[in-house]
Amino acid sequence: MDILPPSETETALAQAARRVLPAGGFGNFAPEVILREGRGGRVWDVAGREYVDYLLGSGPMFIGHGHPEVLAAVQEQLPRGTTFFATNEHGIRLAEALVEALPCADQVRFVSSGSEADMYALRVARAFRKRDRILKFEGGYHGMSDWGLMSLAPKQLANFPVAVPDSAGIPRSVREEVLVAPFNDLETARSLIAEHHDELGAIILEPFQRLIPPAPGFLQGMRDLATQYGIPLIFDEVVTGFRFCYGGAQTYYGVTPDLCTLGKIVGGGFALAAIAGRADIMAHFDRGLVGDDGFLMQVGTLSGNPVAAVAGLATLEVLRRPGAYDGVFAMGRRMMGEMEGMLRHHGVPGLAIGEPPLFDLVFTAEAPRDYRGMLRGDAAVQRHVNTGLRAAGILKGDSKFYLSTAHEPRDEAQTLEAFEAALHSLPAARA
């Protein structure tokens, strides 16, 4: 078969995608972007366009695409077997590394996706607590389960603690199982927990919610409330695990949950996620310890498979080294500062929010503390800037710059130049 020129390939693939995929894509990202390869901090699409990659596969490629140590570990494992549906040495070694690194972790159970990890974390907390309801925070993302998709990004705001489903197909009964509070509002959370504590099986939150850092005292306040009432506290660290420091956000912010969920970075770019936590809660995965009534059945065909495990181990080995995070924090701080300076220069209301390895610009004069604060940003300006960045070879999601340890000074310079150009063209776009 003749090889089509890149432009024809792109057109043919897009046509095929529209025919065989709902909405012409995988449901994750803009379907018109069809990527071919990635190396370090850059990716190329099937038409040969080169991008500085701040999407990073939605975060897992924290040490860059095709890292030589990860590739070597995977290539060594591949001829020895890709999956067994049985315990393997590499999965055990990865679990050991996670227990050693994470303050909350006595034991680990592997799954294949962050959505699974969050779903099972909620289930094991309910099994331990013997209560059905959960408390989550508006705007917090906890995977694709029915409970996780309550009040993730509600189009119609409800009075707290009413939960709003963010997807068709969620049973109406789920609304009654979820209480919702505003992030960074300790007093509202305290009031809700005091009223409903005897019904709650778990409290789940992102310690760094999407882009919003925790307010001083908020995480410790939630820790204290969970301890007071004996409710398992779950940190969803699918995004933050090993991103801000080697021990995750729980180490970075100095607050230890009872359970945490992990994904993205710990799989090294392969399908692997995990629940980690206290031994007495994790015991509910062990029928021999808790009996039939307390046992939580969990199986997964690819859970803890050796290819993902060796990729995760190699990634953690890189991140364990002294100074591993220094460069990404320095670059992130510079970019946040430079971009805020450009906003002031152009008279555009906005600021950089987040942490240096994971941030974005919000086009509002006041730093948001919660989901509703994020809604005050100027969405039209955000779209214009994102469109301008992509046209200039900068690939990012709608609301995140994921930085990697593989990004280089030339990536930073190209990004800042593109951001400046996007702001410069903004008045014309507004007119």
Structural domains of the chain sorted by starting position, each given as residue range(s) with its CATH number in brackets: 68-320 (3.40.640.10), 325-354 (no CATH), 369-400 (no CATH)
Sheet with 358-362, edge to edge strand ranges: 351-355, 358-362, 401-402
For residue 47, how many C-alpha atoms fall within 13 Å in the half-sphere facing its CB? 13
pLDDT at residue 41 tops 50: yes
Report the predicted TM-score, pTM, of the whole model to 2 decimal places: 0.96
pLDDT more than 90, % of the chain = 96
pLDDT at residue 430 tops 60: no
155 given a catalytic annotation: no
Per-residue confidence (pLDDT) for residue 24, from 0 to 100: 94
Q: Is 221 helix (H, G, I), strand (E, B) or coil?
A: helix
| Residue range 244-267, pLDDT digits in tens | 999 999 999 999 999 999 999 999
Would you say 370 and 184 are in contact if contact means Cβ atoms under 8 Å apart?
Answer: yes
Adjacent-strand bridge partners of 52: 42, 394
Task: List Cβ neighbours of 227 (8 Å cut-off, separation of 6 or more).
Answer: none
141 given a catalytic annotation: yes
- Direct distance between the N- and C-terminal alpha carbons of the chain, in angstroms, rounded to an integer: 50
Per-residue confidence (pLDDT) for residue 3, from 0 to 100: 43
Distance CA 199, CA 339 (A): 46
pLDDT at residue 103 tops 80: yes
236 given a catalytic annotation: yes
pLDDT at residue 7 tops 80: no
Which residue is catalytic, options 51, 54, 120, 141? 141
Residue 148: phi and psi, rounded to 5, are: -65, -30
pLDDT band at 9 (very low <50, low <70, confident <90, very high): confident
Mean per-residue pLDDT, 165-187: 96
Nearest 5°: the CA angle 165, 171, 177 is 70
Which residue is catalytic, options 45, 118, 185, 236? 236
pLDDT at residue 428 tops 80: no
pLDDT at residue 283 tops 50: yes
Q: Is 400 helix (H, G, I), strand (E, B) or coil?
A: strand
| Residue range 353-388, pLDDT digits in tens | 999 999 999 999 999 999 999 999 999 999 999 999
| Residue range 121-151, pLDDT digits in tens | 999 999 999 999 999 999 999 999 999 999 9
| Amino acid of residue 46 | V
Per-residue confidence (pLDDT) for residue 429, from 0 to 100: 45
Mean per-residue pLDDT, 211-220: 98
Alpha helices in 197-241 (DSSP H): 218-229
pLDDT at residue 6 tops 80: no
Whole-number average pLDDT of the chain: 96
pLDDT at residue 30 tops 70: yes
Per-residue confidence (pLDDT) for residue 5, from 0 to 100: 54
Report in angstroms the alpha-carbon separations of 353 from 147, 332, 364.
Answer: 27, 11, 11
pLDDT at residue 323 tops 90: yes
Which residue is catalytic, options 136, 264, 396, 400? 264
